[in-house]
Structure 1
Amino acid sequence: MTAARDYEHLHHLVDRLSPTQVRRLRLIITEDEELSQVDQEVPEAVGGSGDEGDLLPGSFLALSGSIEAPADYAERHDDYIRERTNRERSASE
């Protein structure tokens, strides 16, 4: 159970990293003897263009628009929509 909890915790941490922090973490992983072996087993830049500066393919960015949002946006999207609707109703009254 601890391994599953650790995995989930690390998953959430990585989701909150900025692009610069992701690149730094990737560098740390590739320089570590044990972790670099695991990194070599993972396909390179899944869906990427091969440019290290591109973390997401251009087609995704065009589809999604701006991806700047709070870290929990996907989990709380109903709450955010409800808050926005309430603000718009209050402003129109």
Structure 2
Amino acid sequence: MTAAFDYEDMHHLVDRLTPTQVRRLRLLVTQDEELSQVAAEALLPRPDEEQPVPDGLLALIGAVNGPEDLAERHDEYIRERMRRRFGDQA
């Protein structure tokens, strides 16, 4: 098994976790002796910490129209649009 395969496998796994499961995973990672060192440098700040909102983000909010699950299923939506536009060879 290659590192690239491991990375992709874990990426897809995390994408399928519920928010509660993600919080639990984050807790497990931060409590692990080896992983916590990486987590301290790499993990984003917790959502409950006060942070300024970047100006560019404020301009983007509300600019994207689509189904409620667009973020989770964007690949499927793009494939479907390609099939409608170019047929089954897309």
Same structural fold, with TM-score higher than 0.5 when normalized by the shorter chain: yes
| Residue of 48, 52, 55 corresponding to 1:51 | 48
Partner of 1:18: 18
Q: Which structure exhibits the higher relative contact order, with contacts defined as CA atoms closer than 8 Å and separated by 6 or more residues?
A: 1
Runs of 4 or more, structure 1, over 2 Å off, are 59-71, 78-82
Partner of 1:90: none
Partner of 1:32: 32
Deviation (angstroms), 1:62:
5.4
Deviation (angstroms), 1:26:
0.2
Paired residue total: 76
Residues 36 and 18 of structure 1, relative CA distance in 2, 3 Å threshold: same
Counting aligned pairs with the same residue, the percent is: 47
Partner Cα separation in structure 2 for residue 42 and residue 6 of structure 1: 18
Partner Cα separation in structure 2 for residue 5 and residue 34 of structure 1: 21
Q: Deviations over 1:42-65 (max 9, x none)?
A: 2532xx7x417xxxxxx6775668
TM-score (norm 2): 0.59
Deviation (angstroms), 1:22:
0.3
Partner of 1:5: 5
TM-score (norm 1): 0.57
Residues 4 and 40 of structure 1, relative CA distance in 2, 3 Å threshold: same
Instruction: Say what the alpha-carbon RMSD is for the aligned residues.
Output: 3.4
Residues 16 and 63 of structure 1, relative CA distance in 2, 3 Å threshold: farther
